[in-house]
């Protein structure tokens, strides 16, 4: 078949369906995000200044911006807030590393063995259905008010998505590829390392991205309920003093830290799962 045939125009009598894209869907992503942010801030300003909501409950955007600048200056000059942020960052890194190790290990056990799938997985599901915040007092009683209890709670929250993602990735391996490895005499370990794990990386990173969000929530919840010296404790003190603008400012900086964690996971996915570009772009 020639190139001319491949590029041939439809016959006059053929019906060609062309999807009509509305002007709303043609707005660039950056412009749409900016317009949404402006609309949100405008509505926020209207609600807070008209008096619909008390300023103690909802501060004005200007007041929140003032506290954002104050917190940023304190962080930039190495003040006490930077020390608190470093404590939270330490808890976040340790918790995420432990969650990856435990979640990957259990995921391989569940996805690769019948014992893991039939005996271990039901207990993991049962644990995941429990209200994890309720475990915070237990971890504090066991491990004290140091970073250990915060790390335990955050790891507990972030582990299950990684288990599910790893197990799903191992089950997603192509049956023809499995038979090819078996025909070539590959051992079970070789099949796992050279075929199942590489093919299951997209699902593994899906679980990792969910865990990167949950681990931040676990760390801050542990600090909020169990004291300590992190950003969660600063939020607790500010909320006790009814300083809502300071609470909003601290939460926004924590959201930036959470976005950074999520972005690092997406970056690693783009580097390691380069052959799965469509899903990586959708996730990023």
HEC assignment per residue over 252-265? HHHHHHHHHHHHHH
Give this prediction's pTM.
Answer: 0.80
What is the three-class DSSP state of 179?
Answer: helix
The DSSP code sequence of 36-96 is HHHHHHHHHHHHHHHTSS-TTTS--HHHHHHHHHHHHHHHHTT-HHHHHHHHHHHHHHHHH
What is the three-class DSSP state of 11?
Answer: coil
- pLDDT value at 280 more than 50: no
DSSP code for 193? I
Sign (positive or negative) of CA dihedral 188, 191, 196, 197:
positive
Cβ neighbour number for residue 131 with a 10 Å cutoff:
6
Dig out the tokens for 32 from the structure: 């749409």
Close Cβ partners of 173 (under 8 Å, ≥ 6 residues apart): 195, 196, 199, 200
Stretch 206-230: mean pLDDT:
87
pLDDT given for residue 12 in this prediction: 57
- At 70-86, the pLDDT tens digits run 999 999 988 889 999 99
Stretch 251-269: mean pLDDT:
91
CA gyration radius, the chain? 25
pLDDT given for residue 178 in this prediction: 67
pLDDT given for residue 283 in this prediction: 45
Q: Lowest mean pLDDT: which of 110-119, 193-202, 203-212? A: 193-202
What is the three-class DSSP state of 72?
Answer: helix
Please say whether the beta carbons of 125 and 136 come within 8 A. no
- At 114-150, the pLDDT tens digits run 888 888 888 888 888 888 888 888 888 888 888 898 9
Please say whether the beta carbons of 280 and 273 come within 8 A. yes
Dig out the tokens for 92 from the structure: 């976040």
What is the three-class DSSP state of 18?
Answer: coil
What is the helix (H) or strand (E) element at residue 200, kind and residue range? Answer: none
What is the three-class DSSP state of 93?
Answer: helix
CA distance 87 to 217: 15
Close Cβ partners of 131 (under 8 Å, ≥ 6 residues apart): none
CA distance 167 to 160: 11
Close Cβ partners of 6 (under 8 Å, ≥ 6 residues apart): none
pLDDT given for residue 98 in this prediction: 95
CA angle (84 as vertex; 83, 85 as ends), nearest 5: 90
Dig out the tokens for 263 from the structure: 């972005």
Please say whether the beta carbons of 246 and 67 come within 8 A. yes
Q: By percentage, how much of the chain surpasses pLDDT 70?
A: 84
Please say whether the beta carbons of 244 and 57 come within 8 A. yes
* Of 20-24, 242-246, 259-263, highest mean pLDDT: 259-263
Instruction: Please choose, from the candidates 261, 234, 225, the residue with its C-alpha nearest in 3D space to the C-alpha of residue 67.
Output: 234
Dig out the tokens for 6 from the structure: 């491949």
């Amino acid at each position: 078949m020639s190139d001319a045939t491949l590029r041939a125009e439809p016959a006059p009598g053929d019906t060609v369906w062309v999807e009509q894209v509305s002007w709303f869907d043609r707005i660039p992503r950056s412009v749409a995000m900016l317009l949404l942010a402006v609309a949100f801030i405008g509505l926020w300003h209207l609600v807070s200044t008209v008096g619909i909501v008390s300023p103690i409950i909802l501060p004005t955007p200007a007041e929140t911006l003032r506290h954002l600048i104050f917190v940023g200056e304190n962080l930039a000059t190495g003040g006490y807030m930077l020390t608190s942020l470093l404590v939270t960052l330490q808890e976040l890194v340790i918790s995420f590393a432990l969650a990856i190790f435990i979640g990957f290990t259990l995921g391989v056990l569940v996805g690769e063995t019948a014992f893991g799938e039939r005996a271990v997985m039901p207990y993991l599901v049962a644990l995941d259905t429990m209200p994890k915040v309720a475990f915070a007092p237990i971890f504090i009683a066991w491990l004290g008010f140091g970073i250990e209890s915060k790390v335990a709670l955050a790891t507990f929250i972030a582990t299950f998505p990684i288990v599910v993602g790893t197990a799903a990735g191992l089950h997603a391996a192509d049956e023809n590829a499995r038979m090819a490895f078996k025909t070539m005499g590959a051992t079970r370990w070789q099949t796992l390392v050279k075929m199942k794990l590489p093919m299951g990386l997209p699902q593994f990173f899906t679980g990792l991205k969910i865990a990167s969000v949950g681990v931040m929530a676990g760390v801050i919840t542990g600090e909020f309920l169990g004291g300590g010296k992190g950003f969660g404790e600063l939020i607790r003190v500010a909320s006790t003093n009814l300083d809502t603008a300071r609470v909003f400012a601290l939460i926004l900086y924590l959201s930036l830290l959470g976005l950074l964690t999520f972005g690092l996971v997406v970056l690693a996915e783009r580097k390691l799962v380069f052959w799965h570009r469509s899903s990586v772009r959708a996730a990023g």
